[in-house]
Amino acid sequence: MILTQEEAGVPGPEGPESGPHSIIQIEHTMATTLEDVGKQVWRGALFLADYILFRRDLFQGCTALELGAGTGLASIVAATVARTVYCTDVGADLLTMCQRNVVLNSHLAAAGGGVVKVKELDWLKADLCTDPAVPFSWSEEDIADLYSHTTVLFAAEVFYDDDLTDALFHTLSRLARRLKNACTAILSVEKRLNFTLRHLDITCEAYDHFRSSLQALERLAEGRLRFVVERVEASFPQLLIYERIRQLELWKIVAEPAP
């Protein structure tokens, strides 16, 4: 499976699956400002996509939801196995780019009967937007389908700002409580080390905050659910092209009825 950056000669949607590899074409930017972070493909998205391809059993025929999908790469890969993937992020501009990628690769999902639906889901808002005038808003049918059938949530590289990490974890636990079925969340993260003047040392503050949020989720003892957190060994096969550095981590959260 090859990820290309609009290379000349790359087959179009009319027949790439006929070759020895499936080709995913992703429109993206090589570098972005913080405001536009979603417009580039982060290594953790490729790492997560590899795990999706490895754990086809988990995704097979399921309804799944991606949070902070950016270019949509991981959702596109998930839809080759899943039935419906809700691919979510914020901002009409980014979601429009993401939608273009979904259309560009729709033959890959369609081959297995899967579909990707690009929707707005803002972790800073408690409810899904249903205003039909807002681009990528939700229909009542989509919301009913989401809550009735979703069993897998996933997100890549969304832990770079502590406030957003908190919002993401709130969204995860709120969604898990609203879903009819037990669900599994898969999160990828790259442990980034920085030298800070404040500490005069190498630190990984965003990563540390992510790890404490995982612990807090596991300790949460309210409601009908409990959350079981487990780190996934990075020994699954690498099918996509990227450098699998040891700072890449994958975490699995199982939300299940409390005993």
Name the one range near ligand SAM by CB under 6 A: 36-44, 144-152, 203-211, 238-246: 36-44
With binding defined as CB under 6 A, does residue 37 bind ligand SAM? Answer: yes
With binding defined as CB under 6 A, does residue 87 bind ligand SAM? Answer: no
Tell me how far, at minimum, the Cβ of 163 lies from ligand SAM, in Å: 9
Q: Taking a C-beta distance cutoff of 8 angstroms, is the pair 111, 77 a contact?
A: no
With binding defined as CB under 6 A, does residue 250 bind ligand SAM? Answer: no
With binding defined as CB under 6 A, does residue 136 bind ligand SAM? Answer: no
- Rounded to 5 degrees, what are φ and ψ at 74? -65, -35
* In the complex, residue closest to ligand SAM by CB: 38
16/68 with CB nearer ligand SAM:
68
Return the beta strands (E) in the chain as ranges.
2-4, 23-25, 63-66, 84-89, 115-120, 150-156, 183-190, 194-196, 201-203, 225-232, 248-257
Beta bridge partners of 120: 89
138 DSSP assignment: P
Q: Which residue among 50, 89, 190, 249 contacts ligand SAM (CB under 6 A)? A: 89
Q: Site residues for ligand SAM, window 214-243 (CB under 6 A)?
A: none
| Closest to 70 measured CA to CA, from 96, 52, 51, 33 | 96
Using CA atoms, how far apart are residues 95 and 135, in angstroms rounded to an integer? 9
16/38 with CB nearer ligand SAM:
38
With binding defined as CB under 6 A, does residue 123 bind ligand SAM? Answer: yes
Residues lying near ligand SAM in the complex (CB under 6 A) are found at 37-38, 41-42, 44-45, 68-71, 89-90, 94, 122-124, 156-158, 160, 164, 167
